[in-house]
Amino acid sequence: MIFAVDLSSRVLRELVFISEERGNIAPILADASKIGELAKTVVLCDVLFQDIAQKTQLAIFLKNLVFLKKDGYAILCVKSRSIDVTKEPKKIFAEIKRELSKHITIIDEKNLYPYEKDHYIFLCRKR
């Protein structure tokens, strides 16, 4: 089962149509930073995937780790320009890696250039 959380009603409307066809997607209109709301709907998951454009994207990801099973995998896509447009992306990625490694095991990481400028992805596993 896929719990697809989005704050945008426009995006959620598209997810509703897709979920009707596929049957294994539960579209949820919610703010991913408010895990109290999500806890009423979401159960423990094998995989957590986050790809959002928020200044606090790391904090949101770390909060949502509560929904990840032990030894589960987590994928974090980081958009550096959403965090700080004035800071060098490499510095942001290094800061994210440093903080992320305090909470979860980083298995792999990749800069997404040239496919996406100033984007980075982390593959992690919950301890």
pLDDT digits (tens, 9 = 90+) for 15-40: 999 999 999 999 999 999 999 989 98
Tell me the pLDDT tens digit for each residue of 38-78: 998 899 999 999 999 999 999 999 999 999 999 999 999 99
Smallest CA-to-CA distance from 100 within 69, 52, 64, 46 is with 64
Alpha-carbon distance 100 to 94, whole Å?
Answer: 10
3 state DSSP class of 6 = strand
pLDDT, residue 57, reads 97
Alpha-carbon distance of 21 to 2, in angstroms, equals 13
pLDDT, position 37:
87
SS3 state at 12 = helix
* Residue showing tokens 């697809």: 4
Q: What value does the mean pLDDT take over residues 85-106?
A: 97
- Count H helices, E strands: the chain? 5, 6
Structural domains in the chain? 47-125 (3.40.50.150)
Q: What pLDDT does 89 receive?
A: 97
Q: Does pTM top 0.85 for this prediction?
A: yes
Q: What is the DSSP string of 29-75?
A: ES-TT-HHHHTTT---EEEEEEE---TTHHHHHHHHGGGEEEEEEEE
